[in-house]
Amino acid sequence: MAEHGTVFFMYHELALPDGAPCHRELGYTRYVVSASDFRKHMEELAREGWRAMSVTQAMQSFYDKSVAGGNVGNKSVCVTFDDGCETDLLSAAPILQEFGFGATFYITVGFLGRPGYLSETQVRSLGSLGFEIGCHSLTHPYLTDLDDALLRDETAGAKDRLEQITGASVEHFSCPGGRWDRRVVAAVKAAKFRTMATSRTGMNFAATDPFRLTRVAVLSGTSLDVFRRECRGQGLLQTQFKEKVRDAARLVLGNSTYDSLRSLLLGRKESPDPLH
Ligand SMILES: [Zn+2]
């Protein structure tokens, strides 16, 4: 089964040896991968004869596979970045280009121009280099907490704004903080996105609902061995089990109580809205 699936990796900000991350909270920094580790991950793919693709390329590969009977394109992963940090252009793009890899960058439109985040000009540069620009909402709220009007602003509104900035169609959406439900899916569909990526762990297959795409979060310090296994969809079961427990806790407690408890358990003061 695994050989026909594709892992969609989820990266965030990349860390440079002399640079401070956009946020210092543990809930944020555990998602910050060093630029040198990211390079090692891409080198590993190239060495093994794999390729990295954008979301559009990955969705197309599902179609190609079904047409060709599942014999093409198995050695591939999808690479995505959330939030729209400046390191998308300054660190990730040159490394991806070096290997001729594609990727999708999901942008939080309202963060453009803030320190550590891309400017509007930089998003256009990323697009003109051939990378895919996706949408990660307007202001990065938990979409499940919003009323209908705000939900529309954060999906359709964000898409319109991003398309004005890039001058190109924006077709893919990823959920801030991994929060989504059926209302969120309906809003993302109404905004005419073609896919929605969650933060739920797993592989995607030709039969996967494009509005419930799973991803594999790449965390700070992910070893090459773990990365190698994850490319093949191995070792994901333990994370999937932890997520089921976490999702049940969120459902019972609600987002804000869950976040307070999580901060308490992590033993330090943390932003109520970890930006992943
Ligand atoms: Zn995010």
Provide the pLDDT for residue 34: 94
Distance, in Å, from the CA atom of 92 to the CA atom of 72, rounded to the nearest integer, reads 27
Per-residue pLDDT at 130: 97
The rounded Å distance from CA 88 to ligand 1 centre is 13
CB 91 within 8 A of CB 84: no
Distance 200 CA to ligand 1 centre (A): 13
Say what the pLDDT of residue 106 is: 98
Whole-Å CA distances, 198 to 63, 143, 149, 202 = 21, 12, 22, 10
Spacing, Cα 67 to ligand 1 middle (Å): 34
116 Cα to the center of ligand 1, angstroms: 14
User: Of the candidates 227, 202, 198, which has an alpha carbon nearest to the alpha carbon of residue 216?
Assistant: 202
- The Cα–Cα gap between 226 and 175 comes to 25
3 C-beta neighbours (distance < 10 Å), count? 9
Whole-number Å distance between alpha carbons of 239 and 202: 9
pLDDT (tens place) for every residue of the chain, 276 residues total: 444 799 999 999 999 888 788 888 888 888 999 999 999 999 999 999 999 999 999 999 988 876 665 545 579 999 999 999 999 999 999 999 999 999 999 999 999 999 999 999 999 999 999 999 999 999 999 999 999 999 999 999 999 999 999 999 999 999 999 899 999 999 999 999 999 999 999 999 999 999 999 999 999 989 999 999 999 999 888 888 788 888 887 777 887 787 777 777 766 544 444 455
The CA 198 to ligand 1 mean position distance, Å, reads 10
pLDDT of residue 67: 63
CA of 157 to the centre of ligand 1 (A): 17
- The C-alpha torsion from 38 through 176 and 234 to 49, rounded to 10°, is -40
Bridge partners of residue 204, in order along the sequence: 6
CA 266 / ligand 1 centre spacing (Å): 20
How many other CB atoms are found less than 10 A from the CB of residue 258?
A: 16
Q: Give distance in angstroms: CA of 47 to centre of ligand 1.
A: 30
Distance 17 CA to ligand 1 centre (A): 22
pLDDT for the residue 12: 96
Cα 222 to ligand 1 centroid, rounded to whole Å: 19
Alpha carbons 18 and 163: distance in angstroms, whole number: 33
Q: Which residues line ion ligand 1, judged by CB < 5 Å?
A: 82-83, 176
pTM value is: 0.89
For ligand 1, the distance from its centroid to the CA atom of residue 68, given in whole angstroms, is 36
